[in-house]
Amino acid sequence: MVIVGWDAALANNGLVTIIDNNGLTVAGAGIITTKKNKSQGTFGNIDYINRAFEIGEALKKYILDANADLVVAEVPTTGTQSKVAAMAFGIVYGMIGGGLLTDQQLSSTPFILSQPVLTKTKLCDAKNASKAKIEEAVKELLPNIVEHVGVAKKSQHEHIYDAAGVVLANLNDPIYKAVKNAER
């Protein structure tokens, strides 16, 4: 079974491809990066829409190229502390509900939508676990991930670890189990 993990965001989206063949191994990783358009005359809301489109197209390509059987996404939560995080929340949910889940090429690919607190509690047994703790837990469970994080800048590695972490946190999800059982 091929799983794509997605750490959904506005600026840095972490991606990981994990193979579950009665054992987990990382087969690839990536980052989708968008930057704010600072040119004069570009309205913020138009820039957000353009960035959402850019993320959606790149994510779709990643999922299709991986030939994913399942996508597990860690999506921003509503309890955000900044305007940008709140905007990312809206964009990601809109993109998922309005585009990715209804895209004809992806319509047969199930999505599990998860929240950061689940990843933190499942991997580190603490709802406020640090990025370093998530990275440590992911490296322990998926040691070959270190071979793949080099596709991103060092400052972006945390997003790849989060993408892997959300997959690991959802191994017992009913959708995960159903997709895995269908593969047999």
The pLDDT tens digits for 19-36 are 999 899 999 999 999 887
Q: Is residue 103 very low, low, confident or very high in pLDDT (cuts 50, 70, 90)?
A: low
Q: Identify the CATH number of the domain in which residue 134 sits.
A: 3.30.420.10
How much is the average pLDDT of 94-103?
65
42: containing domain: 2-183
CA max distance for the chain: 55
Angle between helices 157-169 and 131-141 (to 10 degrees): 60
Q: For residue range 107-150, list pLDDT tens digits in order.
A: 788 889 888 899 999 999 999 999 999 999 999 999 999 999 98
End-to-end CA, the chain: 9
- Enter the pTM of the model: 0.89
Q: For residue range 35-78, list pLDDT tens digits in order.
A: 877 665 556 677 777 888 888 889 989 999 999 999 999 887 76
Cα torsion angle, 136, 145, 6, 34, sign: positive
162 close to 41: Cβ distance less than 8 angstroms: no
Q: Record the tokens describing residue 162, joined without a space.
A: 């989060």
* Domains: count for the chain: 1
Q: Record the tokens describing residue 97, joined without a space.
A: 């509900």
